[in-house]
Structure 1
Amino acid sequence: MKIIVDSGSTKADWIFFDQNNNVITSVTSLGLNPEVITLEEFFTRVNTVPDICKNKDEVKELYFYGSGCGSDRTKNIVKNFAEEYFTNCTNINVHEDTYAAIYATVGRGETGIVCINGTGSNVSYFDGQKVYQRIQSLGFMAMDDCSGSALGRLMIKSLFLNMMPKDLATSFKSKYDLDADVVKYNFYKKENPNAYMASFLPFLIEHKDKPFFKEMIREQVSFFAEHYIKNNPEYDKVPVHFVGSVAYFLQDEFREVMAEHNIQVGKIIQKPLDGLIEYHK
């Protein structure tokens, strides 16, 4: 049995293949980002999904694409988990989520810039063979601009600084528990504060045409174009693809801003799973 995992900070999608490379089933677990959860938490989260537990001894190959897997240190966390959990697995491969996005958007042998705009964000250039990351991401505390966590943080900040228009603030507080103690507990005590911040994204999308949010979105997308995408000298010569819920649900806003920056938009997809399935068949 072979498994492909596409994991962000919020959730992870698991695809199971039989020996003939046919998809058997797919399941979802909580996100498995080694930058923000411990090795012990990996086991806790995976053990809550019955289909993973009951099939773990049958797994011979594992391909894990995940946020936070950009260094040897974090890759080793995933590998250590996989070696201990899938005891009969002899082929373990761990890649940053960038590779999943590339395989899902850029054709074999083609070139392109691939952006991830989900809970976090990053950008890479693919020359048809190699991946180049001109920007070293520092994660949600310092970077991850134009992501769910960045937009969620701006929403919370604008609420507590009384910058958010009253009607939006009232609606926002009626939909979420935004007591200061609750917010601080989720920021500083619970796992995955970046996913918590990104959890406010549905409210933003629902009200994206409100002038206050419209400007917030525009500023974030424009900043991402100027300081992330344009750090790649190829930005005006190759298609720029986008993967993730932020880009997918705000694609009209993305297309408008990219046109102003002379950036050719390629594919915009929410999740790279379909492309990964085809790539691994």
Structure 2
Amino acid sequence: MPSRYILIADSGSTKTDWVCIDPQAGHRQSRQSAGINPFYQTADEIIPVLLEQVVPGIEGEVGEIHFYGAGCADERSGMPVTRALKHCFPSATSVEVASDMLGAARGLCGHEPGLACILGTGANNAFFDGDRIAHSIGSLGFWLGDEGSGSYLGKTLVVHYLQNELPPDLHKSFIKAYPGLDRLTVLDHAYKKPYPNRYFASYSAFIAQHRDHEFIQELVRNAFGLFVKKYILKHTNATQYPVHFTGSIAYYYQDILRPVLESNGLQTGRILKSPIEGLIGYHLA
């Protein structure tokens, strides 16, 4: 009798990494879809994403699902995702929908204690005791927090541009990259259109292209410093445990991140673009 597959997902606001594993043969299928966040989407809006971008690439019967995502802080908040998954994968007898923070902690720490942090489109943190999230300095989301994230970096860059605070050469490059961008356009995306976090995170591409510029390096360094101060250092005995990171911002700017951690007396742990590999090991152990 063929084995029933295990489907694991790591979802942020921008994208979702999926991997479907045959636990007996070890065969895996990997896919990527748009980000899924029940804070912004209903079950009826999530279902088409799954049917169009995920289900067609899954060959085999899915019996177990572990979905880790932004906006899935508890059972109630994650219910739209649970309903969508059960609708699209009716063969699944076990569906776990948990926070992206728990996914990061399991993927980064395994079964060992440590601090797990997310720096992608958004930002988050938690102390994982090897079994569960024991403590977290709650993220306030895009509008009130997310220091160090891609959305925060993009928002900070745009504010500097609109307030004429960019160095002349960088200002010129920004105008060339985003011709016609003005205050009203930015305000429209910020307050009227959906997914303002994704919109501002899109400007991180400009930051990446000019990462060698002193102004950009200072911008990123300051954002990481704020993340450390507001979140990591507030954990009791933070300096006694490894501090792990996942997310594209942490991964691609680790050359700036590592010195910031070291200057605050922190132990740098694993820095991964995605926790998905660690999650595979966690669920197959």
Give the alignment's TM-score, normalised by structure 2.
Answer: 0.91
User: 1:228-247 maps to which residues of 2 (within 5 A)?
Assistant: 228-247=231-250
Residues 3-82 of structure 1: matches in 2 within 5 Å? Answer: 3-18=7-22, 20=24, 22-49=26-53, 51-53=54-56, 55=58, 58-82=61-85
Identify if the C-alpha distance between structure 1 residues 169 and 38 changes in structure 2 by more than 3 Å, giving closer, same or farther.
Answer: farther
Q: In the alignment, what sits opposite 2:159?
A: 157
The alignment partner of 1:47 has SS state of: helix
Letter in 2 for 1:158: H
- Write the deviation string for residues 95-123 of structure 1: whole angstroms up to 9, x where unpaired: 11112212222142x21111111111111
Fraction of identical pairs, as percent = 37
1:167: how far off? 1.7
SS at match of 1:124: strand
Range with greater deviation from structure 2 (198-207 or 254-263): 198-207
Separation in 1 of the partners of 2:250 and 2:168? 27
Q: Deviation per CA, 1:121-172, whole angstroms, max 9, x where unpaired? A: 1111011222123322221111111100111110111111111122212222
My pick for the range that moved more, 156-165 or 185-194, is 185-194
Q: Give the Cα separation in 2 of the matches to 1:86 and 1:116.
A: 28
| In 2, Cα distance between equivalents of 1:23 and 1:197 | 38
Contact 1:12 1:28 in 2 (8 A): yes
- Return the letter of the residue paired with 2:173: S
- Secondary structure in structure 2 of the residue aligned to 1:241: strand
- Give how far 1:44 is off: 2.8
**Structure 1 residue aligned with 2:191, among 182, 188, 191?**
188
Cα distance in 1, alignment partners of residues 91 and 252 from structure 2 = 40
> What are the Cα deviations for residues 173-192 of structure 1, in whole angstroms up to 9, with x where unaligned?
32235344543443334432
Paired residues, number: 279
C-alpha distance in 2 between matches for 1:133 and 1:195: 27
Distance 2:48 2:188 in 1: 21
CA distance in structure 2 between the aligned counterparts of 1:21 and 1:202, rounded to whole angstroms: 39
**RMSD, aligned α-carbons:** 2.0
CA distance in 1, matches of 2:278, 2:14: 20
Name the counterpart of 2:210. Answer: 207
C-alpha contact 1:11 1:30 (8 A) present in aligned 2:
yes
User: Partner of 2:9: helix, strand, or coil?
Assistant: strand
Alignment of 1:40-189 (within 5 A): 40-49=44-53, 51-53=54-56, 55=58, 58-108=61-111, 110-176=112-178, 178-189=181-192
Which of 248, 266, 269 lines up with 1:266 in the alignment? Answer: 269
Contact 1:61 1:90 in 2 (8 A): yes
TM-score using structure 1 length:
0.92
Question: Which consecutive residues of structure 1, in runs of 5 or more, have no partner in the other structure?
Answer: none
Answer whether contact 1:57 1:88 (CA < 8 A) is retained. no
Q: Is residue 276 of structure 1 aligned with residue 271 of structure 2?
A: no
Does the aligned pair in 1 maintain the 2:63–2:93 contact within 8 Å?
yes
1:267 partner SS: strand
